[in-house]
């Protein structure tokens, strides 16, 4: 298991990816050195009693040479609002790397994602190099992700609910055909639960091994509080410690 650390991380910068989504890059050499795709980090957003708990974010990219890693988050509540105010040079207290990470032992992977679920998949794409990516969103403006994946991925397939970009529909509009014709030996999925459930079912039907990265409300991220416990392959597991990545057919509680 990866050694976890509490690290004082220097903010290198924040980039606005959409009106509410930010990419945050921090210098944190220990976490950057050991973070694998699928890992996440738990960021302290204030030193006051409120907001109290750390905010967990998937590792979205690592630059091991510079000792930096990035996270992508949506500004939703007080915690992420405060995080968005962090300036270059500010210091953030981060616990990581946390979780188990994806199993990379495959030859021809397909990455499938939507929304913020694409953040950990971006780092996965960076490490896999030239994987195909299928991403879905409600409309074209939600798929700004395609620019982030452009230099890392081989082919990028797009779907939008309203048909404003790519194929109209959800990722399920393309997935069964890609699985049948693409020769993939592994699918990695992260996104909203309905997307993950449907994509996992399609992979199981097509006989392609599939890993999903689950998201559940967690208070500690360390396996202590059991907020994120779920049932995997008939056994109790913790999303933060035993996951967040699980084999799709083993997930019994999404």
Partner 1 sequence: MVAPLYDGRLAVDIAGIKMQTPVTTGSGTFGFGLEFTDFLDLEKVGAVTVKGTSLLPSCGNKGQRAVETPAGMLNAIGLENPGSDYFLNVTLPKLRKYDVPVIVNIYGHSPEEYGQVAAKLDVEGVAAVEINISCPNVKEGGIIFGTCPEAAAAVIKEVKKNTSKPVITKLSPNVTDITVMAKAAEEAGSDALSLINTLLGTKIDIEKQRPVLGNVTGGLSGPAVRPVAVRLVYQVAQVTKLPIIGMGGIMCAEDALEFFLAGASAVAVGTANFVEPDIAEKIAHGLLNYLDRHQMQNIEEAVGLALPHGKHSMPLYNC
Binding site for partner 1 (CB under 8 A): 3-6, 44, 49-54, 95, 217-229, 231, 236, 241
Using the structure block, give the residue that is written with the tokens 């302290």.
Answer: 44
> Is the separation of the CB atoms in 167 and 158 below 8 Å?
yes
Give the chain's length.
254
Element (H, E) at 61: strand 55-63
> Is the separation of the CB atoms in 165 and 143 below 8 Å?
yes
Distance CA 168, CA 143 (A): 13
In the complex with partner 1, which residue's Cβ is closer, 47 or 151?
A: 47
Tell the smallest beta-carbon distance from residue 45 to partner 1 (Å): 10
> Is the separation of the CB atoms in 179 and 191 below 8 Å?
no
In the complex with partner 1, which residue's Cβ is closer, 201 or 222?
A: 222
Tell the smallest beta-carbon distance from residue 192 to partner 1 (Å): 16
In the complex with partner 1, which residue's Cβ is closer, 89 or 217?
A: 217
In the complex with partner 1, which residue's Cβ is closer, 74 or 108?
A: 74
In the complex with partner 1, which residue's Cβ is closer, 115 or 136?
A: 115
Tell the smallest beta-carbon distance from residue 254 to partner 1 (Å): 12
Tell the smallest beta-carbon distance from residue 127 to partner 1 (Å): 24
Distance CA 26, CA 68 (A): 5
Tell the smallest beta-carbon distance from residue 34 to partner 1 (Å): 11
């Amino acid at each position: 298991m990866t050694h976890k650390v509490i690290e004082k991380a220097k903010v290198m910068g924040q980039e606005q990816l959409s009106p509410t989504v930010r990419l945050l890059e921090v210098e944190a050499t220990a976490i950057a050195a050991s973070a694998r795709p699928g890992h996440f980090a738990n960021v302290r957003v204030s030193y006051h009693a409120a907001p109290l708990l750390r905010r967990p974010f998937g590792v979205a990219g690592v630059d091991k040479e510079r000792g930096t890693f990035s996270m992508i988050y949506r500004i939703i509540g007080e915690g992420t609002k405060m995080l968005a105010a962090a300036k270059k040079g500010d210091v953030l207290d981060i616990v990581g790397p946390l979780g188990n990470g994806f199993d990379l032992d495959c030859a021809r992977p397909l990455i499938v994602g939507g929304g913020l679920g694409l953040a950990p998949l971006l780092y996965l794409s960076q490490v896999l190099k030239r994987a195909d990516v299928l991403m879905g969103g409600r409309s074209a403006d939600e798929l700004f992700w395609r620019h982030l994946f452009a230099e890392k991925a081989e082919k990028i397939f797009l779907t939008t609910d309203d048909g404003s970009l790519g194929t109209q529909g959800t990722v399920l509009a393309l997935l069964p055909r890609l699985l049948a014709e693409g020769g993939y030996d592994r699918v990695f999925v992260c996104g909203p639960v309905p997307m993950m459930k449907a994509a996992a079912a399609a992979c199981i039907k097509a006989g392609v091994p599939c890993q999903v990265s689950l998201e559940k409300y967690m208070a500690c991220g360390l396996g202590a509080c059991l907020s994120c416990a779920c049932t995997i392959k008939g056994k109790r597991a913790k999303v933060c410690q035993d996951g967040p990545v699980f084999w799709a057919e083993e997930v019994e509680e999404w």
